C-alpha cells in the first residue's frame, strides 16, 4: 500500500514538474533515438542538454550588467518559488515504513530551507540594488 501511494506521489510530482524545456528535451531525445535506430539513449541526449544549459547559464549570469540585476533576481525568485512548491510536496510524503519516503522528506526539507533562503536573500539584495538608484536628500 505504501509503495502504491509512493508511486502515485512520484507520478503526480513528475507531471507537475514537467515544463516546456523538459517536453522539448524528451521529444528531441525520442527523435534522436528513433532516427538513429535506437543507438542514442534518450537519457544521454537529455543529459547533454542539461550540461549545455549549465554552461550557457553560467556565462549568461556572469555577463549580466548591474542594470539588469533586478529583473534577473525577479526571475530567480520565481524559479525558487517553484522549487518551494516541489519541496512542500516532497515534505508531505507519508512515512509508512518506506525508506524512500524518509529520504524524500529529508531532501524536501533541505530544498525548502535552501530555496527559502534564496528567495529572501534575493529580495534583500534587490532592495539594496534599488536603494542605490534612489536620490539622497
Give tens-digit pLDDT for 94-130: 766 667 777 878 888 888 898 888 888 888 877 887 7
| Alpha-carbon span 20 to 49, nearest angstrom | 13
C-beta neighbour count of 72 within 10 angstroms = 15
Residues 6+ apart with CB under 8 A from 73: 122, 125, 126, 129
For residue 93, is it left (φ>0), alpha (ψ between -120 and 50) or beta? beta
User: For the segment 30-72, what is each residue's pLDDT rounded down to a tens digit?
Assistant: 777 677 776 777 788 788 888 998 888 888 777 777 777 667 7
pTM of the full structure: 0.47
Amino acid at each position: 500500500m505504501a509503495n502504491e501511494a509512493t508511486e502515485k506521489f512520484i507520478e503526480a510530482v513528475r507531471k507537475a514538474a514537467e515544463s516546456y524545456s523538459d517536453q522539448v528535451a524528451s521529444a528531441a531525445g525520442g527523435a534522436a533515438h528513433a532516427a538513429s535506430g535506437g543507438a542514442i539513449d534518450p537519457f544521454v541526449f537529455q543529459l547533454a542538454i542539461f550540461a549545455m544549459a549549465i554552461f550557457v547559464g553560467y556565462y549568461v549570469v556572469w555577463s549580466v550588467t548591474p542594470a539588469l540585476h533586478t529583473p534577473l533576481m525577479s526571475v530567480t525568485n520565481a524559479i525558487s518559488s517553484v522549487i518551494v512548491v516541489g519541496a512542500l510536496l516532497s515534505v508531505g510524503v507519508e512515512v509508512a515504513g518506506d525508506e524512500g519516503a524518509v529520504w524524500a522528506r529529508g531532501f524536501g526539507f533541505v530544498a525548502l530551507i535552501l530555496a527559502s533562503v534564496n528567495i529572501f536573500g534575493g529580495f534583500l539584495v534587490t532592495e539594496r540594488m534599488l536603494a542605490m538608484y534612489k536620490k539622497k536628500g
